[in-house]
Structure 1
Amino acid sequence: MLACGKSAMKGLLLLFSSMTFLLQGVDNCPEKCFCHPSSNSVDCSHQGLAEIPPNLPPQTLILHLQDNQIHQLPALAFTSVSQLRILDLSNNSLSSLAPEAFSGLHHLQVLNLTQNSLLSLENRLFQALPQLRELDLSFNNISHLPVSLGKPWENLTMLAVQQNQLQHLDRELLEFMPRVKQLLLKDNTWKCNCHLLGLKLWLEKFIYEGGVTDGVICGSPDTWKGKDLLIIPHELYQPCALPSPDLTYSQNQQPISAYGGEVTKPPDNHSLRHQVPLECEAKPKPRPANLRHAVATVVITGVICGIVCLMMLVAAIYGCTYAAITAQYYGGSLAQTSESEKTGGKELLDSSPA
């Protein structure tokens, strides 16, 4: 009986503590948001929010902020939810992200920024996310991804930049993602010139090692428009040439001499190494007409060689025939001469005195 009473008391205490926790979760839940203590998730989607709601529960692991009207993220916007694992900011109006907007989110693994109005990304934006595994930047207006953006991406396994304005993607940025398994690049304005050769070579190795990509379709130049970058032979690409040293040298001249002359500044080798021409398109494929000409040349050459060989064969046959006839003629003459000599000798023997 006493044991039953103790069990009942423990059950009541457990129920009371659970109710207290739930009430605390409800009290801490921001207005227009729905908190789910069982999964430590907060759903603030479809609420017309213009900024990150305050008073988010500190134990939040999943935060849904999609389908709102948030225009910018200030610095330290999520410090109150430092345990966050998943953050969904898709389908907002984000055009500006402070360099330290995600500071404090050392455990964040999934970040969704699709369907916003982002034009560029700060170099330091993701440096506070060492555990980031999935980053989706699709359906924005991003035209450039700086190389230093990927330095903390050792754990990244998925990167999506579909439907942006990217023309080039530096291979060095991709080298910062040793564990990436999925790379989505479709529907950008890729410019298939020498600057994209590094991406092509990296993708070939990436696919060979089992990586998944949706392909790079060239937007320019007209020679390759609509073509998949991976099917263009890399032999058609030439390394981006450096500008002429004389040209760079003349550009660095400064008329600062007190004697009316110019004090020239020698060209900087470091700057020369990083300056490349704006246009360095891949060489187009040979035209079919050139191929026909080549085939015709081979055929004509073969015919000429055949005629020469035939003439040599005829000459050889003629020479052999002539030699045989000559040999036969001289052989007959020799036989007649020998026969006459034999006959004359016999006559001489017969006419000699007994």
Structure 2
Amino acid sequence: MARLLLFLLLPFSWLYAGVMAVRNRLFDFGWKTSEAFAVPLVNVGNLRVGGTGKTPHVTWLVEELLRQGHRPAILSRGYGRQTQGPRLTGPQDSAATVGDEPWQYYQQFAGPAVPVAVAEKRRLGVRLLQQLHPDVTVIVLDDAYQHRTVRPTLNVLLTEHARPFYQDHVLPAGRLRESRRGARRADVVIVTKCPPDLGPAAQEAVARRIRRYGRPDVPVLFSVYEYGAPRALAAELEIEGSEIIDGPPKALDMGPALLLTGIAQPQPLWEYLESQGYVMRYHEKLPDHHAFQPADLEALQAHWQPGWPIFTTEKDATRLQRPDLWAGRPQMRLKTYTIPVRVAFLGGGAEALRRLLPPGPAA
């Protein structure tokens, strides 16, 4: 059945890929304009719809740019927000007004004061950041690989190890936003969510397949997820008496637990929690960017028993901060924990990526 469906959808994929190819050629030949800016732009994107790990990679890049003495900013489309037009994120905002990823960035980098803006038209977002924060030395674009009206200084393409772009098809037969040849625009390709024990021979085999579609000299790096200590969601809601858990929560049994997510690829987190000794009893799995409703928590509560931990992601936590969601469920809220996720690179990948970044102001 799956093969038959693929066969039926392929003509529509070819049509969509053709339209995107014409659009890309118009940019390549200068018939459609791509604007360059004095401030360097580092773009993090993918060919596939959702789930490649853009958010933790943007976080890694911003943290590294801060270490190098940059004054970075982040620009995102703000997917799912209830506002329109260019907007600078501020304390009055929420996931509803700027989108879940921008709100997560704003909360993560509030200390170093990294400006976070959202704009459907990225060039307007760049101009807004330049106007309001003229001291910004580099802007990291979150998910603008197909947004070719701006010209990045460094184009970072992500592809998931379990679902590499070279094994996928263009929408609707597959999940690609454009053909595999779009990899030619990448200055570096990062294969994400790799097994930690992925050896050099396996890495080289993947790199060879990527270079069939990208430039032959493009660096191919490999990253893995590293999960942090659980953090009480109540702490993020600033509820009195909540705590940060150091290491596996000693107050919790490594017994039954639930998972609540609204992200594209939650399976790695489920597998991680199982590897830590939790007995995962139920997963309330909702679509990416899902706006949580009281009914979702009611459905989760039907599978929950008092004392069982409920785990979720940092991204989902931005949409779980509405107090009305937890009305009548204070014990569930106090037993809900976020699991931070960061990326690390295999081999010399981190140093290779550092060398590609715009030089710091003191360089």
Using the size of structure 2 for normalisation, the TM-score is: 0.20
Using the size of structure 1 for normalisation, the TM-score is: 0.20
Query: By percentage of residues, which structure has more strand?
Result: 2
Q: Which has the higher contact order (CA 8 A, sep 6+)?
A: 2
Greater Rg by CA: 1
